[in-house]
Amino acid sequence: MQESIKNRKTEWEESVLNKVLQKFPERKETFTTGSDKPVERLYLPQEESKGDYLEKLGFPGEYPYTRGVQPTMYRGRLWTMRQYAGFGTAEESNERYKYLLDQGQTGLSIAFDLPTQIGYDSDDPVSMGEVGKVGVAIDSLKDMEILFSGIPLDKVSTSMTINAPAAILLAMYIAVAEKQGVTRDRIRGTIQNDILKEYIARGTYIFPPAPSMRLINNTFEFCSKEVPKWNTISISGYHIREAGSTAVQEIAFTIADGIEYVRNAMSTGLDVDQFAGRLSFFFNAHNDLFEEAAKYRAARRIWARIMKEKFSARKEKSMMMRFHTQTAGSTLTAQQPDNNVIRVTIQTLAAVLGGTQSLHTNSKDEALALPTEDSVRVALRTQQIVAHESGAANTVDPLAGSYFVEQMTDEIEKEALEYIEKIEKMGGMVRAIEAGYVQKEIQDSAYRYQKAVEKGERIVVGVNKFTVEEEEPRGLLKVDPALRDVQIKKIEEIKDSRDGSKVEAALAALKRGAADESVNLMPLILDAVHAYATLGEITGVLREEFGEYRESIVL
């Protein structure tokens, strides 16, 4: 068996690795420890007893991708370092993005305010008190132009955490790029566009499931032809975990969502290999270092096998689970906030050891307010120190072969598959959500955790043990309550300066298209965006045609 592994390593190097190295040369030829001991690219088992190695783990960049989706992983290219940011006006957020890029951030991650997330303009009465509070306010293409002013969209990759109105914000991004002279086939990034987890855990939905899934399929189809470098969905376990799920539930419910999206897209006639290569995932990183690393390994393996065996995917990219990770906001404490720096460091290591493609590190003051520039810089430096000083990025898969990690990976995989099978027997994720099954599982998990904290069975440093008397925190970032007036004035100026007849014609065309399920709405949304129709006007037309989702209470 050991000879077989050695032979396979030779084959892997010749058939996979060398091609990658020719295209993407490594950062440098050799890596060493602090004591100048050489670090090999890849480590393999030394005992013949590891006979299941090839079947269960394989090699990096090869099915079932347990050891990573790229043969060289971080030796070839580091993960994309993003800091989720956005607050106040587009002008203020633009300044923060430029600051982060100057500090070494390698990708943008946009936070939108709550009205934007649910499709309301800043001047809508529903928006009062929420404009610019948890993200940037975007009311029209004009705001989007300001948001990316001076940031060349052919040079950065942009992730946008937006779901129900994702098609509209993507259209605005495309329009801004084209105004910069960047064609849509050159822009790179991701829209979250994951509506199922909104029904499960987060709540920023607008439309019922069926039209919401139609919008998602429309973006899949449109981008596969027009925006080929764009990730059309980021299937999110992050918010499922933030709502209180376990690590097993996080990947089980996220993958079950993914199955639903793939099945739904294929039911419209899309070939799985036409869109699956641009699916991406979004996971949480919690404090249990080894469980989190094992979770990512198990998730990759499960997804690869589902895509190959259940959906008959043929292309390798269709089977690769590429994911972004964010450190866990729910673990941050308002008490002794400096402790959050250590929590985020552990979570960063978990994500890196687990093989993430992209990472956001939370700031220490986020349990209290939006992060300040200083705290954002410390959060970014955490990633940079792990990347360049810890040695974690110097070999492809540092934890492979750990008895602890491999057994935990197997156990997580087994339990997650049991959840997925149960959901499939219920008729899929939409049916499971409608029945309240997924929500109840998460609520029960959250309740168990909170009871354990209250009883002292789980220690949260600074909260239920090792507490101190603290002064009122100072220097927190605050959003100006007059911001809404600024946005209302912008909307008035846009409506006064635009061609009203073009707006009316574009919205009328969108309404007709929404009534015909055979029509892809993306081109019509783009036309409305180009005419400077506002976000609220566009979603208003779709609300009239699709209706609004109202959550039912399941007892």
Mapping DSSP onto H, E and C, the string for 156-194 reads CEEEEECCCCHHHHHHHHHHHHHHCCCCHHHCEEEECCC
Q: Residues with Cβ < 8 Å from 357, sequence gap 6 or more?
A: 69, 79, 80, 280, 322, 323, 324
Total number of domains constituting the chain: 1
**Within-domain flag for 349:** no
For 313, which DSSP code?
A: -
> Do 39 and 394 contact (CB within 8 A), yes or no?
yes
Instruction: Please state, in angstroms and rounded to a whole number, the distance separating the CA atoms of residues 247 and 332.
Output: 17
Measured over the CA atoms of residue 312, residue 316, residue 320 and residue 322, the dihedral's sign is negative
Instruction: Please state, in angstroms and rounded to a whole number, the distance separating the CA atoms of residues 198 and 179.
Output: 32
Upstream peptide bond of 64 is cis (omega within 30 degrees of 0): yes
Measured over the CA atoms of residue 493, residue 136, residue 442 and residue 304, the dihedral's sign is positive
Instruction: Please state, in angstroms and rounded to a whole number, the distance separating the CA atoms of residues 136 and 161.
Output: 11
**Within-domain flag for 27:** yes
**Within-domain flag for 39:** yes
**Within-domain flag for 30:** yes
> Do 259 and 310 contact (CB within 8 A), yes or no?
yes
Kindly compute the dihedral angle of the four CA atoms of residues 382, 348, 52, 60, in this order, to the nearest 10 degrees.
-60
**Within-domain flag for 45:** yes
Instruction: Please state, in angstroms and rounded to a whole number, the distance separating the CA atoms of residues 537 and 530.
Output: 13
**Within-domain flag for 26:** yes
- For the entire predicted model, the pTM comes to 0.93
Per the listing, tokens 């739904």 go with: 264
> Do 375 and 511 contact (CB within 8 A), yes or no?
no
> Do 71 and 17 contact (CB within 8 A), yes or no?
yes
Q: Specify the pairing of strand 107-111 against strand 188-191.
A: unpaired
Range of the domain at 32: 2-56
**Within-domain flag for 444:** no
Measured between alpha carbons, how far is residue 488 from residues 27, 134, 241, 306, 481 in Å?
A: 49, 18, 36, 48, 13
**Within-domain flag for 31:** yes
| Per-residue pLDDT tens listing for the chain (555 residues) | 556 777 877 887 777 777 777 766 655 568 899 999 999 888 887 765 555 666 778 899 999 999 999 999 999 899 999 888 899 999 999 999 999 999 999 889 999 999 999 999 999 999 999 999 999 999 999 999 999 999 999 999 999 999 999 999 999 999 999 999 999 999 999 999 999 999 999 999 999 999 999 999 999 999 999 999 999 999 999 999 999 999 999 999 999 999 999 999 999 999 999 999 999 999 999 999 999 999 999 999 999 999 999 999 999 999 999 999 999 999 999 999 999 999 999 999 999 999 999 999 999 999 998 899 999 999 999 999 999 999 999 999 999 889 999 999 999 999 999 999 999 999 999 999 999 999 999 999 999 999 999 999 999 999 999 999 988 787 787 877 788 999 999 999 999 999 999 999 999 999 999 999 999 999 999 999 999 999 999 999 999 999 999 876 554
